[in-house]
Structure 1
Amino acid sequence: MDPSTELFERIGLSVALGLLIGLQREATGAEFAGLRSVALVTLFGTLSGLLAGHFGGWVIVAGLFAITTLLVLGNVMQWRGRVADVDPAISTEIALLTMYGLGAYIAFGSFVIAVVIAGVVVALLHFRQELHSLVGHLAAGDLRAIMQFVLITFVVLPVLPDRTFGPLDVFNPFEVWLMVTLIVGISVAGYLLYKVFGGNAGVLLGGALGGAVSSTATTLAYARQAREGLAAGLAAVAVTLASGVTFVRVALEVGVVAPRLLPAVALPLGIMLALTLGGVGLAWLRVRQKGGRPPLQQNPAELGPAVTMAALYALVLVLLAAAKTYLGSDALYVVSVVAGLSDVDAIALSIARLANAGVVAEDAAWRLVLVGVLSNTVFKVLLAGSIGGRALLVRVLALAAPAFAAGVALVLLLPASGAQ
């Protein structure tokens, strides 16, 4: 690329990102950081970065000192003018300093990373009330569990050995715990959304958010409500929707662990999700009303369940490897059925891990994942019926049957691609 063209692109990106953050600040009534100010600060950072390439890094430091001085003077003038009305929050000042640093980075760095950083900044600024609301919804136990998630991810994970052990050469402590952090991370994200919206959630939102945390726990909770008097149609909608969220969750897990396998898995899961949502939508039109309590969810970042998840994942991984080695590839389907009954995350991640390592062919891998999902669906239908009664069983079965039948048909009838 021509150097002058690249230079203009960097300057243009700097101004565009500055205008984006400035637009957000001016729209929310920031005192001294509006559309032009933030854009100019970002552009000044880019200019400092360009000059630093010729004169040394001290130029960036000097620019940072200049911006900081201006911010201090601006705040001092506000304090002197109207002490009682000054907002003690410093998010605008931090945003300006961040945009200066981003501007300096744009002078020589990656455009993609710059856009991501700007996106994070604008999201943090714009969703201020939602973030504060989230903190207000978290109890002391929730904060403790989130700190445990930090322990799981950033303390335990780095110290685990990153090599395989055992006769089948598949047990890697680092990879096992990495899969646990992935599962817990997805669940924590759903749990935080649940804490914000769950208190006022209707059946649809309760089922969707509950499924993001634990579809099995959500099924159990709404089945109990059905037994206590909640209309079976409403409970069936929530239970089936929670199962539909599982399809998205599995696709996300496979996409992270084995991106090449994702297209093969996404097609059948997408068909099943569409059929599930269609049935839920029609059922909701018939029982359209709010009712029922959102199910109580346990925080998924607790250390005990994480250790259990690690053990289960490792066990499934070893069983799959042993079945393939000693019993042949067909035995993998038996393991998928059995493992899927208890935890669909473990079987999905195990298959994705083996497929990514080349142990299981891609064409067999997506079928094995789908078999685990189908097995888990059967388990949740039976769980709903055993707890919620015959009326709930009939309605959940009617809503889940089209997606289940489609999944079985895809596993049995879709021709092999020949992928090895």
Structure 2
Amino acid sequence: MSFELEQLFSRIGLSVALGLLIGLQREATGPEFAGLRSFALTALFGTLCGLLAEHFGGWVLVAGLFAITILLVLGNVMQWRGRVDDLEPSVTNELALLLMFGLGAYIAFGEWELAVVVAGVFVVLLHFKVELHALARRLGGDDLRAIVQFVLITFVVLPVLPDRTFGPYAVFNPFEVWLMVTLIVGISVGGYLLYKAFGGGAGVLLGGVLGGAVSSTATTLAYARRVREGLAAPLAAVAIALASAVMLVRVKVEIAVVSPLLLRHALPALGLMLALTLLPVAWLWRRSRRQDATMPPQKNPAELGPAITMAGLYALVLFVLAAAKDSLGRDALFLVSIVAGFTDVDAITLSVSRLASEERVTLDTAWRLIVTAVLANAAFKAAMVASVGGPEVFRRTLWLLLPSLAAGLGMILWWPAAAV
């Protein structure tokens, strides 16, 4: 068998397989006029039209799409005449068949990996119909405004900003500053939408995870306050520690986006801290899981005011770090990292990662600065828990976080630079 013929059979096989996958989902979820075989044949027809178009021109694809459209119209007319009362108004199946034809045509001359990804996204959207509709019903005006504001921040403001540096130390780049804002807001909006999907009745574990994705500091404050309202201290401590664990994951994501090479150096410390946070949390949760807790309300994380504040804070930290290194030396960077960590770990993480990517600070210094900021932020939140929640929740929270904090401090002081 020639290589070209083998490639041809492979494309046809992939087309039929993806068609069967989508058709199986459609046929299993309800009465539709097109099922398993229809989707497989539609995908195969699209692939054949694509192969023919390579030899006879693009009109073959247009004719194939027209033929599929006519069949859909006739199929719907026949079904409406047969059992009008059984039909629920929807165009999902028709759109699915048209997309299946397009996907089959793409397989004829496109990248296989992209076709598989599209089919995967396709079947997920089809299968989670009930959950997606439930999420849409839960979204109110404030939630839709969060989505629209994120679109505004990302796709309207970002493209018009100049992508060049200004000012002293050549660190202020409006495009890069706002790009970092979109990263942080995007993570927070994702956590906010998950919170809306699961609702305020989410248990303490999910509350800590989702709250940490939106804002670990706000989640810490909310659960500390709820102890005063009667929430059991162990549950509050678990939620607060989980939010801190999610913050460590956020830090890893931010480093990976800005400076992937730095992530390799930061992983030993951040990974150890994450593990030493989750282990005691799991132990305490097993002892207190019979009690449950409602997740505190979360605020819209995509408001323009906080986004602008975040941009200013990131730019300020970036400038102060560059100025401190230039004027005071390496040790001054740790003081800046501590002060910045008290207010916002995201800003210092992104600033240090950018300086590391531009080789303004060494990778060894960069990960230590980030861990220092994480420790400072943990100390700030511990003080918040003590003042707002009281001594019992403070003691339990400190017991959960102390192994992680000790490990982070030990890594900063004694981890050899040559081994990182």
SS in 2 for 1:290: coil
Q: Gapped runs of 5+ residues in structure 1?
A: none
Contact 2:201 2:293 in 1 (8 A): no
Pair 76,246 (structure 1): closer, same or farther in 2 beyond 3 Å: same
SS in 2 for 1:223: helix
Match of 1:119 in 2: 120
Matched, 1:274 2:275: yes
Matched, 1:309 2:310: yes
SS in 2 for 1:405: helix
Q: Which amino acid aligns with 1:175?
A: E
Q: Which amino acid aligns with 2:192?
A: Y
Aligned equivalents of 2:44 and 2:265: distance in 1? 45
**Structure 1 position 204, deviation (Å):** 1.2
Once the two structures are overlaid, the 10-residue window that deviates more, 105-114 or 343-352, is 105-114
Aligned equivalents of 1:61 and 1:380: distance in 2? 62
Contact 1:193 1:209 in 2 (8 A): yes
Q: For residues 237-277 of structure 1, what are the alpha-carbon distances to aligned partners after superposition, in whole Å with 9 as ceiling and x for unaligned? A: 11111111111111112112222222222332222111111
Aligned equivalents of 1:371 and 1:122: distance in 2? 44
Match of 1:12 in 2: 13
Q: For residues 352-410 of structure 1, what are the alpha-carbon distances to aligned partners after superposition, in whole Å with 9 as ceiling and x for unaligned? A: 22222222222222222222212111111111111001111111100000111111112
Q: Which amino acid aligns with 1:336?
A: S
Match of 1:217 in 2: 218
Once the two structures are overlaid, the 10-residue window that deviates more, 108-117 or 129-138, is 108-117
Matched, 1:134 2:129: no
Match of 1:172 in 2: 173
Match of 2:383 in 1: 382
**Structure 1 position 35, deviation (Å):** 2.2
Q: Which amino acid aligns with 1:325?
A: D
Match of 1:360 in 2: 361
Matched, 1:254 2:247: no
Aligned equivalents of 1:125 and 1:105: distance in 2? 20
Match of 1:53 in 2: 54
Once the two structures are overlaid, the 10-residue window that deviates more, 262-271 or 55-64, is 262-271
Alignment of 1:139-218 (within 5 A): 139-218=140-219
Match of 1:320 in 2: 321
Q: Gapped runs of 5+ residues in structure 2?
A: none
Q: For residues 59-104 of structure 1, what are the alpha-carbon distances to aligned partners after superposition, in whole Å with 9 as ceiling and x for unaligned? A: 1111111111111111111111122221111112111111211111
Once the two structures are overlaid, the 10-residue window that deviates more, 265-274 or 377-386, is 265-274
Contact 2:200 2:296 in 1 (8 A): no
Aligned equivalents of 2:80 and 2:358: distance in 1? 62
**Structure 1 position 330, deviation (Å):** 2.4
Contact 1:225 1:292 in 2 (8 A): no
Q: Which amino acid aligns with 1:61?
A: V
Match of 2:290 in 1: 289
Aligned equivalents of 1:148 and 1:212: distance in 2? 18
Once the two structures are overlaid, the 10-residue window that deviates more, 383-392 or 22-31, is 22-31
**Structure 1 position 122, deviation (Å):** 1.1
Match of 1:42 in 2: 43
Contact 1:46 1:106 in 2 (8 A): yes
Pair 176,76 (structure 1): closer, same or farther in 2 beyond 3 Å: same
Q: Which amino acid aligns with 1:240?
A: A
**Structure 1 position 115, deviation (Å):** 1.8
Matched, 1:23 2:24: yes
Q: For residues 99-145 of structure 1, what are the alpha-carbon distances to aligned partners after superposition, in whole Å with 9 as ceiling and x for unaligned? A: 21111112222222222211211111111111111111111121122
* Structure-2-length-normalised TM-score: 0.96
SS in 2 for 1:417: helix
Aligned equivalents of 1:5 and 1:171: distance in 2? 54
Pair 136,290 (structure 1): closer, same or farther in 2 beyond 3 Å: farther
Once the two structures are overlaid, the 10-residue window that deviates more, 288-297 or 86-95, is 288-297
Q: CA RMSD in A?
A: 1.7
Pair 323,16 (structure 1): closer, same or farther in 2 beyond 3 Å: farther
Q: For residues 24-64 of structure 1, what are the alpha-carbon distances to aligned partners after superposition, in whole Å with 9 as ceiling and x for unaligned? A: 11221251232222122112212211111111111111111
**Structure 1 position 418, deviation (Å):** 7.8
Identity in percent = 67
Pair 49,155 (structure 1): closer, same or farther in 2 beyond 3 Å: same
Aligned equivalents of 1:388 and 1:168: distance in 2? 43
Match of 2:89 in 1: 88
Contact 2:191 2:213 in 1 (8 A): yes
Aligned equivalents of 1:2 and 1:262: distance in 2? 42
SS in 2 for 1:183: helix
Aligned equivalents of 1:291 and 1:243: distance in 2? 20
Aligned equivalents of 1:56 and 1:120: distance in 2? 30
Aligned equivalents of 1:356 and 1:106: distance in 2? 39
Q: Which amino acid aligns with 1:277?
A: L
Q: For residues 328-360 of structure 1, what are the alpha-carbon distances to aligned partners after superposition, in whole Å with 9 as ceiling and x for unaligned? A: 222222221111111111111112222222222
Aligned equivalents of 2:157 and 2:169: distance in 1? 25
Aligned equivalents of 2:244 and 2:333: distance in 1? 23
* Structure-1-length-normalised TM-score: 0.96
Alignment of 1:88-107 (within 5 A): 88-107=89-108
Contact 1:203 1:290 in 2 (8 A): no
